[in-house]
Amino acid sequence: GEDVEQSLFLSVREGDSSVINCTYTDSSSTYLYWYKQEPGAGLQLLTYIFSNMDMKQDQRLTVLLNKKDKHLSLRIADTQTGDSAIYFCASRGGSQGNLIFGKGTKLSVKP
């Protein structure tokens, strides 16, 4: 079946940039998403990118998409302690509405 892979952990210092990477297998993915999950909380959509775009910027967040390599990244500028959470990459296929999630990257921000 289709798959989404992410590294499991990332640790950065407050004020640095964080880059979380993701690869996916479904070449028909029309949209790719980044979700944030804080402890005990639900999933919050951070941003998404349409497959015909290669970059999207939204305040401190920058999403880069390399469709040829099926590689997606999320850059968080000026990372804050409040950004500590698990970040999930997800792809959405063209034929169905369901999302395929990676296992999540746990971001730890040290003061």
**Gap between the Cα atoms of 88 and 39, Å rounded:** 13
**Gap between the Cα atoms of 46 and 52, Å rounded:** 19
Give the contacts of 50 (CB within 8 A, at least 6 positions apart): 30, 31
Number of residues that bind other proteins (CB under 8 A): 23
| Residue 39 contacts other proteins per CB under 8 A | no
Residue among 13 and 50 whose Cβ is closer to other proteins: 50
Give the contacts of 82 (CB within 8 A, at least 6 positions apart): none
User: Least distance from C-beta 96 to other proteins, angstroms?
Assistant: 5
Q: With contacts defined by CB under 8 A, name the span among 11-19, 55-63, 72-80, 101-109 that binds other proteins.
A: 101-109
Give me the residues that bind other proteins (CB under 8 A), please.
4, 30-31, 41-45, 48, 50, 88, 90, 94-104
